[in-house]
Structure 1
Amino acid sequence: MPAYITAMGSFLPGEPVPNEEVEEYIGSVGRASSGLREQTLDNCGIKTRHYAIDKQQKTLFSNTELAVGAIRRAVERSNITLDDIDLIAAATGLPDLIAPGFASGVHGELGSPPCEIVSTHGICSSGMMALKNAYLQVVAGEKKNAVACASELISRLMKSDRFTDVRPVSDDGAIAMEIAFLRYMLSDGAGAALVQDRPAAEGISLRIDWISLTSYANTERTCMYMGAADNSGKRSWLDYPSAAEAAVDGALALRQDLGLLPHLVRLGVKEYQRLLDEGRFDPDELAWFPAHYSSERMKSMVLKEIEKKKLRGPSVEKWYSNLTRVGNIGSASIYVILEEMLGEGMISAGDKLLLMVPESGRFAVSFAHLTAVSGGEV
């Protein structure tokens, strides 16, 4: 039995925030903060993003509310109601609560009838994990209507107030580069996809042909992490005498080991090559290559690696991302990209799409192949 994405929704809180106003929301940390902001934003290419906090650093929406907003918009565009949802698969990198799972909060806030839920936790790939769970349940005939969603609310973790007592690591009082640059890279938002066992009666639906998720944690060191002061894996924040002492040591800050990022590029292209060699897709048949990446510089690195390996890659004009306008929303990015493409009428019946979502956590790479079908087509 096939499975189709029949409707999508997104929720981007507030108005777009331009680069020059970023520190009006998250504040500045360390004497070199503004200079680092310019360097980071020049590299990543982001011009605007969205925050779920205001300029007083007050939280306006919870992460759960962002996810629910995206789900409601997806359902409003479909032929079902909230009462018809059989499964909610919810992904995030940083839930509102440590426990219970994120999907429990989403289901509770949504207020839909009893249904199955699943929470997928991680970084960027967790959104694809949720989508694959929904896809497989529909394909197996377990569910007729499944909702997959991904949501991120990272701004409240990046507020300057949270770094007041963090131990500085340089003479000018600046926090570690591996923490500081992420304050300007990441943003808030959510996306949702309704997955059903038949295409929508009208408009374009996306048949899910396959989804591939591969972890390389068995060979790679941790790159992006939270809950420790370093990536050695020897001391968790739970091993400190108190959460306050863990926070002072920087163990409750999100970090990324920049020196390991080239590994992600190589692994992403390695997975692309594996799927290509297996005949899972034909680059010449692709109409679009929607890709989640953290910066325009990373995109250039991927293109160079593909050229270096002399692979048949998707042509540059087939790549699609809205990173420069909505920022890096982690696990929700690929949902927001697809929602925008469908909403703008960019996808036509017969188009084939190859989605790419790399994750720098401990390195995982996800791909998905979709085929667009017209209303009612089976």
Structure 2
Amino acid sequence: MLKDVFITRASAFLPNDPVYNADLEEYLGYINGKKSRSKEIILRRNGIKERYYAVNKEGKSTHTNAEMVANAIRGLFKNDPDEITTIELLSCGTSSPDQIMPSHAVMVHGCLPETSNIEVVSPSGVCCSGMHALKYAYMSLKLGDKSKAVTSGSERIAIAMTADKYEEEIQKMQELEENPYIGFEKDFLRWMLSDGAGAFLLETEKSKEGLSLRIDWMEACSFAHKIEPCMYMGGDRLENGDFQSYKDYEPADLINKSLMSIKQDVKLLGDNIVKLGNELLLTSLKKHNINIEEVDYFLPHMSSYFFKQQIADVLAADGLSIPEEKWFTNLATKGNVGSGSIYLMVEELFNSGKLKEGDKLLLMVPESSRFSYVYAWLTVC
């Protein structure tokens, strides 16, 4: 018999002190000694006021991704540290692991020597990877294979956006007497992304100490068969539209073309990210016989407040209007933490005292990398 699955606790870890807009280049540095030409425009549009970086003003790392997740997980068990030994499954998603191998989740497990021998899984991806981690744990508990799991979403991206990562490329531009500024598709993301980690405890029994969130369903979908890569790292799009891996470039190109920096096709993003996500929402609500008016809290992961009105307009056009007072996001104060953002939103709302039994939460996580989406429906109980 299938079991109910509950999020019984939520925890977050944000490294260091908040970083405000005026101080961003004090942490990430000035590329070629010059102020960014696009930073102020991007910041006005994205609406982020503060975020967190796992780097200091000298551009040195203060935490690894795995360490941040381990700290978030320990926060789940702060009232009973020994309970951490009862975890049966660790499922961790990120788009910015500390290394290519070993996998992210086993490195997190290595930062938790107080745990036991457990199953560990590392879903790959970008923003959706945290939700895929959640879905794996949800299904494992649903089927009765496990009874207690921890799942996480996290990012450590600031260290990949510091000025020194682009200096060789800029030097090449100067030698060629080209414009010695970083391209917009790279500069855009320097002011959009931040660091942090969130974690959930999943159990097959609801909490005896307070409210829980029952996971009623999760739906995921990719549109990669229709659209080319939009956001990428470790490769580049060629003029003919093909995507080429960093493995197929000369070693010098890793630096000269800054292939390990993140790039974003902003036009492709704007043309597709909202409308494709709504396709999945429509089919998901129909599949589960849900009326959008049942939603009490709508938690949309957005990279920028620029997309908020677009999302609202597309929802309204499809008869799925969600009143403004039902929207919940902490993008302005936590920044865009990629796969960790939905964890940070749920954690803040879950621990806010605002929720009451019977409330319905709709989680929306889009991923612009090649247009994937995950929705989840939760009930407070």
TM-score, with length taken from structure 2: 0.94
Uncovered stretches (5+) of structure 2, i.e. residues with no partner: none
Preserved contact between residue 236 and residue 243 of structure 2 (Cα < 8 Å): no
Query: Which shifted more, 32-41 or 317-326?
Result: 32-41
Q: Secondary structure at the match of 1:35?
A: coil
Is residue 2:206 matched to residue 1:207? Answer: no
Moved over 3 A (4+): 30-35, 77-80, 167-172, 231-234
d(CA) in 1 for partners of 2:4 and 2:183?
A: 48
Task: For 1:185-200, list aligned pairs within 5 A.
Answer: 185-200=192-207
Match of 2:85 in 1: 83
CA gap of 1:27–1:73, structure 2 versus 1, over 3 A, is same
Match for residue 256 of structure 2? 248
Aligned partner of 2:191 among 184, 187, 191:
184
**Structure 2: distance between partners of 1:363 and 1:30:** 33
Indicate how the Cα distance of structure 1 residues 19 and 311 shifts in structure 2: closer, same or farther if over 3 A, else same. same
Letter in 1 for 2:280: E
Aligned partner of residue 57 in structure 1, secondary structure: coil
Determine helix, strand or coil for the equivalent of 1:341.
helix
Query: Could you tell me which of 292, 311, 315 is aligned with 2:319?
Result: 311
- TM-score for the superposition, normalised by structure 1: 0.94
> Equivalences for 1:146-161 in 2 at 5 Å?
146-161=149-164
Q: Which amino acid aligns with 2:190?
A: R
* Distance in 2 (alpha carbons) for counterparts of 1:313 and 1:186: 28
2:40 is aligned with 1:34? no
C-alpha separation in 1, matches of 2:217 and 2:186: 36
Of residues 126, 138, 143, the one that matches 1:140 is 143
Superposition deviation, residue 250 in structure 1: 2.4
Cα distance in 1 between the residues matched to 2:290 and 2:73: 30
The 8 Å contact of residues 103 and 117 in structure 1, kept in 2 or not, is answered as: yes
The residue identity in structure 2 corresponding to 1:214 is C
Work out whether residues 33 and 174 of structure 1, in 8 Å CA contact, stay in contact via their aligned partners in 2.
no
Give structure 1 stretches of 5+ with no counterpart: 374-378
User: Over residues 68-92 of structure 1, what are the superposed CA-to-partner deviations in whole Å (9 max), with x where a residue is unaligned?
Assistant: 1111112325797111010000111
Q: Percent identity?
A: 38
CA distance in 1, matches of 2:329, 2:178: 39
Distance 1:70 1:229 in 2: 34
C-alpha RMSD over aligned residues: 1.7
**Secondary structure of 2:237 counterpart:** coil
The corresponding residue for 1:223 is 230
Q: Which amino acid aligns with 2:26?
A: E
Contact 2:8 2:206 in 1 (8 A): yes
Q: Is the 8 A contact 1:67 1:190 kept in 2?
A: yes
Rounded Cα–Cα distance in structure 1 between residues aligned with 2:222 and 2:244? 23
Does the alignment pair 1:342 with 2:350? yes
- 2:372 alignment partner in structure 1: 364
Equivalent residue for 1:257, pick from 257, 261, 265: 265
Aligned to 2:128: 125
Distance 1:184 1:215, change over 3 A: same
Residue by residue, what CA displacement relative to the aligned partner does 1:239-261 show, whole Å, maximum 9, x if unpaired? 1232x422211211101110111
2:293 is equivalent to residue 291 of structure 1: no
Structure 1 residues 194 and 80, CA, compared in 2 at 3 Å: closer, same or farther?
farther
Q: 1:360 to 1:174 in 2, by over 3 A?
A: same
Q: 1:208-261 CA deviation, whole Å, 9 max, x = no partner?
A: 00011101111111001101132644421111232x422211211101110111
User: Does the 8 A contact of 1:240 with 1:246 survive in 2?
Assistant: yes
Q: Partner of 1:299: helix, strand, or coil?
A: helix
**Cα offset for 1:30?**
5.1
Which position in structure 1 is the counterpart of 2:47?
A: 45
Q: How many residues align?
A: 371
